[in-house]
Amino acid sequence: MTRTLPEQHLSHPTANGGGYGEEQEPHEGLLSPLGSAIPPDEPEEDFGTDTETLRSDYDEEYMETYSLSSSILDYQYENGRRYASFRSGHYLMPNDEEEQERLDLTHHIYLMLMGGELFNAPIKNPQKVLDLGTGTGNWAIDFADNYRDAVVVGNDLSPIQPSWVPPNVEFFVDDFESEWLEKMNAYDFIHSRNLAGCVVDWHRLIRQAYDHLKPGGYLELQESAVWAWSDDGTLKMDSPLMEYLMALNDAAHMIGRELNIYVDLKPWLIAHGFEDVHEQTYILPFSPWPQDPRLREIGRVQAVMVEKAVEAYGLRLCTQVLGWGQDRTRIMQSLVREQLKDRSLHSYTKIKVAYGRKPLR
């Protein structure tokens, strides 16, 4: 099989912020966008980590159709991990407590990268907001806390959201790849994050989002590359990490759920008629190797998250799609984790945040 690898050189953020401001032209030479690394003779660090509900535009039939049922809570178990049973096979990641902890860490990492902001779109006074694939619901809850006059709807295949939430938050078990049953022109803002590998037809998803936004409403897509780079040659293509990432991308391609769609966000928004389209790239170190204190702290949290992500992203893809045995899969994952703990490895990944506005007419 011929592998199609993610683009090798993207614009890097300004040197002072790891992702703030407009994107710059690609840098020359091997200077890392994260700055210099911590000297390798420093001590290794421990990578461990110490009511009345507002109504939405969902009609009675929709509420009844997607109410919780015993079948939704009848989870599937594979290789020691728990998975959603609703629309089984549509989502390749676990939904157990360990995965929920990883999702919480991911939310924290995005906040750190984006300077505490939940989004980049210039929205004003939103009244109705949709969070696609809400996961543990952190983004929706934080948004609802910040915008008390807005109704925030979060949907997901798994009912893993907390029960105690702000009164202006509603969570539903739903498959956003199905036909949306809400009213057209309902939302001021639609948000998604890290849906790569979960979507077969991104064009259909973006079209549905477009149709359900009010004129002047915004769609924002936040996606991480499922890939790794280094600018000083410390990451080799024949290393366990890169071999594993190539295997995951091959598997995802085989089932039509591509992982590295982050490069397509801006072109897709433009192609589907959105205006005022902007995109920002953020650089995310895999471990606390940068000397910059802020990036070093982000890398420390990312190191904890990615240790969990190695298994979460690959267990089903390797065993069910590639046909690897459980032992082979776990050995490979162990080698990847060990490599990522090596502070002489100056690796990073990239996150893109793109948004666009539905025309007023």
User: How would you classify the pairing of strands 151-156 and 128-132?
Assistant: parallel
Count of beta carbons in the 10 Å neighbourhood of residue 154: 27
Cross-strand bridge partners of residue 152? 129, 169
Could you give the CA distance from residue 280 to residue 282 in angstroms, rounded to a whole number? 7
pLDDT tens-place values along the chain, 361 residues long: 445 455 543 333 323 334 333 333 333 333 344 555 554 444 444 444 443 333 444 444 444 444 445 555 666 767 777 677 655 566 677 878 999 999 999 999 999 999 999 999 999 999 999 999 999 999 999 999 999 999 999 998 888 788 889 999 999 988 888 889 888 999 999 999 999 999 999 999 999 999 999 999 999 999 999 999 999 999 999 999 999 999 999 999 999 999 999 999 999 999 999 999 999 999 999 999 999 999 999 999 999 999 999 999 999 999 999 999 999 999 999 999 999 999 899 999 999 999 999 999 8
Helix axes 97-113, 293-316, angle to 10 degrees: 140
Q: Which domains does the chain carry? A: 70-228+256-286+346-358 (3.40.50.150)
Q: DSSP readout, 63-94? A: HHHTS--HHHH--EEETTEEE--TTTTS--S-
Q: Which residues make Cβ contacts (< 8 Å) with residue 198, sequence separation at least 6?
A: 90, 91, 92, 133, 257
Count of beta carbons in the 10 Å neighbourhood of residue 13: 21
Q: How far is CA 297 from CA 118, 171, 289, in A?
A: 19, 32, 9
Could you give the CA distance from residue 169 to residue 149 in angstroms, rounded to a whole number? 11
CB of 36 closer than 8 Å to CB of 291 = yes
Q: Which of 60, 63, 72 is nearest to 160 (CA)?
A: 72
Cross-strand bridge partners of residue 107? none
The C-alpha R_g of the chain, in whole angstroms, comes to: 20
Cross-strand bridge partners of residue 156? 173
CB of 312 closer than 8 Å to CB of 99 = yes
Place of tokens 């006059």: 149
CB of 133 closer than 8 Å to CB of 195 = yes
Could you give the CA distance from residue 295 to residue 301 in angstroms, rounded to a whole number? 10
pTM: 0.82
